[in-house]
Structure 1
Amino acid sequence: FRFFQWLRGTGLTSLLVSEVYPSALEAGFEEEFLADGVLLLTMERTGEISFQRRIQCVKLRSADHRAEAYTLLFQEGRFEVARAIG
């Protein structure tokens, strides 16, 4: 809790990265409660041997946002977001 208070006190935009196991997603995790925003990055199987990167805004305090997952594409050295297929 104090770490998050300290980060807010710096006046900077902070991005924390954490690995979360699938079981923790269902139960919730402490960082989700403390953070102002949570972006979830996953790899979804879309075929027998193919996967798709997905990004989902799980939480964004004080903002109206869509909760569905979107495809995260990396092409020509940059990221693009598109509607998820499948």
Structure 2
Amino acid sequence: MSSEADRRTAQEAVAAYHEAELARLVEGVGEAIDGFRSGKLDAFAVDEAFFQYSRAARELWKFCNSRSVDLTVSLIIGNRPSIDWWERGALRKR
């Protein structure tokens, strides 16, 4: 079992990861809004981007908060491929 200091360090690492990934998701929404303002996207496309952001942010939150912090840190810093949260939030075409 990890010490309290180790646990706090792990929680800070997960929080930093969560914030950085959330910032990337917000960038996706910002790009959609910029596309709308420039006339490249219509309101429906921007709404879809908001919906995708919401789904992606929910999946990110679950990843960061639904298991032990030690396991989450090991997944974040391990040699695993990075997770594309924006793609995880995409609607699946049937």
Would you call these one fold, judging by a TM-score over 0.5? no
Report the structure, 1 or 2, having the larger strand content: 1
Q: Highest relative contact order (Cα 8 Å, sep 6+), 1 or 2?
A: 2
- What band does the TM-score fall into relative to the shorter chain? under 0.3
Pair member with larger Rg: 2
Q: TM-score when scaled to structure 2?
A: 0.21
TM-score, scaled to structure 1 = 0.22
Structure number having the greater helix percentage: 2
